Amino acid sequence: MLHAKIVDTKEKKLSIIEAENFISSHDYGASIFFTGTVRNQNDNKSVIGITYDSHDALVTNSFHEIYDEANQKLNIKDKSVYIEHAKGYLNLGEISIIIAVACKHRDQAYVLSRYIIEEIKKRSPIWKKEHYQNNDSAWLEGSPIINEKN
Amino acid sequence: MKVVIELFGASRDFSNKNLIELDIKNNSTIKDVRGKILDYLDLNFKGNKNFIKIVNSSVFCSNNNIISDNYKITNNEKIAIIPPIGGG
């Protein structure tokens, strides 16, 4: 079972309670909640907030692909996964991503949670623009997507 | 013919309209479009080196699929530029 969504920060905030409600089940004995939040320092600069941009359709597709791959690559078939990523401006401490997973056993839950966040970092088209205390702002450099079709 | 480039991430700084429209020759490919974007940046941003780096390290997307450099563009097609990523 998968919930995958990009959330406009003007519409709502990401909620761990909603994630917990989605993955809760008597079928599973282990749950992991991963959140990414806006921190106040990067590269020796004082950060006051981040604007997130996203290609929504590609990102949602990538979340589904990553979920499906977990069947094959990790052999974790029984699972419940909740992934939401914010789009728009977030202040310090606000949640930019929630990955909540529930599996039968803890080993699976830890592996699955880590796999999802690392794959999102590699292939989900999401971008960050940091805003600094001196009123400056900058897009972070990021990593190129490897185009297997070339 | 025309192609519309939807801008995402760092490429949003290429225009204040979140897209750029380019005139291209018939049967142009993504490789050709990449060159046209570089011409556009040369003209409008005096060849801003950071912008050039972004274009050269981007992939492109049509109909929600990443496409190859040999992909042939149709008239008025909308293509998204996908600069280097970094979410989470």
Q: What is the pLDDT of residues B3-40, one digit of tens each?
A: 999 999 999 999 999 999 999 999 999 999 999 999 99
Question: Cβ B87–A124 below 8 Å, yes or no?
Answer: yes
Name every chain B residue with its beta carbon within 8 A of the beta carbon of A53.
Answer: 8-9, 12
Question: Cβ B87–A123 below 8 Å, yes or no?
Answer: no
Dist CA A7 CA A14 (whole Å)? 7
The answer to whether A80 and A1 have CB atoms below 8 angstroms apart is yes
Domain B2-82 has what CATH class?
Answer: alpha beta
Dist CA B38 CA B32 (whole Å)? 10
Q: Which domains occur in chain A, in start order?
A: 2-135 (3.90.1170.40)
Among A53, A127, A145, beta carbon nearest to B66: A145
Q: What is the pLDDT of residues A3-62, one digit of tens each?
A: 999 999 999 999 999 999 999 999 999 999 999 999 999 999 999 999 999 999 999 999
Nearest CA to CA, how far is B2 from chain A (Å)? 22
Nearest CA to CA, how far is A136 from chain B (Å)? 14
Listed by start position, the domains of chain B span 2-82
Measured between CB atoms, does A143 come within 8 Å of chain B?
yes
Q: Is the model's pLDDT at A119 over the cut of 90?
A: yes
Global pTM reads 0.94
SS3 A99: strand
Segment A63-79 mean pLDDT: 94
The answer to whether A124 and A99 have CB atoms below 8 angstroms apart is no
